[in-house]
Amino acid sequence: MRKPIIAGNWKMNMTPSQTVKLIEEIKPLVAEARCEIVVCPTHTCLFAAKEALKGTDRISLGAQDMFYEERGAFTGEVSCESLLELGVRYVIIGHSERRQYFAESDETVSKKVTKALEKRLIPIVCVGESLTQKQRGVTNETVGLQTRLALFGVGAGNAEDVVIAYEPIWAIGTGMTATSAEANGTIRRIRGVLAEMYNPETSRKVRILYGGSMNAGNAGELLSTSDIDGGLIGGASLKSGDFAQIVGNLS
């Protein structure tokens, strides 16, 4: 059985003090959770989050990005080693906002995935189609190609450690969301691509999440499907009660 994950992507929200407050609110609400829980604050809030998470093994720490070089003249970037020293276990790679606003390419996504796995960080690799691609009926081709390129050169053993997040770009921050049937169907197709790349057993082990305006109101239906193994949550993860309610669907 694949262990479900609910991961909160806080994006560019929360100061260090606000980070501590939110984590302290979340901790008692998810004390009995049976799924994995991840919070991903900004880099400047990671140390505060690490301190706030002391004493609990229910919530793991994640980062929102990383660089594929270990050190050097890369102003503004953050290395895996730095994240590891801060207690980070997961790292989001290739989010559509990174691709859209910061020219993240399939090539850099692949390099980051390779480096994260090398350093024993768990990558949460984001794939998803634009509204135009959806309207043209090429969703499966788009996310399939993104998946293949992101995992280029990754062996089957390491691929099992990767988490994939299907986030339709047209649904992120818009309030729109794919229907449970649409989301599950696309995720099943991603799983099929993994089976083609590796083998059916590896495909069955990889956890695939849904993102794109998952919230307390629609999470139950989305998470009840056959192939959705959790969620990468945006705005709803900034509200402790809503986040805990989403987690509760998997408890």
User: Quick one: pLDDT at residue 173?
Assistant: 75
User: Quick one: pLDDT at residue 175?
Assistant: 77
Inter-residue contact 240 to 22 (CB < 8 Å): yes
Question: Residue 75 in 3-state DSSP?
Answer: coil
Residue 134 has a CB neighbour count (10 Å cut-off) of 19
pLDDT, one tens digit per residue, over 160-195 is 999 999 999 988 877 777 899 999 999 999 999 999
User: Quick one: pLDDT at residue 251?
Assistant: 78
User: Quick one: pLDDT at residue 172?
Assistant: 80
Choosing from 70, 107, 167, 196, the catalytic residue is 167
Question: Residue 74 in 3-state DSSP?
Answer: coil
User: Quick one: pLDDT at residue 236?
Assistant: 96
Quote the tokens at residue 82: 């730095």
How confident is the chain (251 residues) per 10-residue block, as mean pLDDT? 95 98 98 96 98 96 98 98 98 95 96 98 97 94 98 96 95 83 96 98 97 93 96 97 97 78
Number of domains into which the chain is organized: 1
Catalytic annotation present for 167:
yes
Choosing from 95, 97, 104, 129, the catalytic residue is 95
User: Quick one: pLDDT at residue 132?
Assistant: 93
Cα distances (Å, whole numbers) of residue 104 to 35, 93, 112, 152, 159: 30, 9, 11, 16, 21
Domain span including residue 167: 5-248
User: Quick one: pLDDT at residue 148?
Assistant: 98
CATH number of residue 55's parent domain: 3.20.20.70
C-alpha radius of gyration, the chain, whole number:
17
Nearest to 10 by CA among 52, 40, 30: 40
User: Quick one: pLDDT at residue 213?
Assistant: 86
Specify whether the backbone of 175 is left (phi greater than 0), alpha (psi in -120 to 50) or beta: left
User: Quick one: pLDDT at residue 199?
Assistant: 97
pTM (2 decimals)?
Answer: 0.96
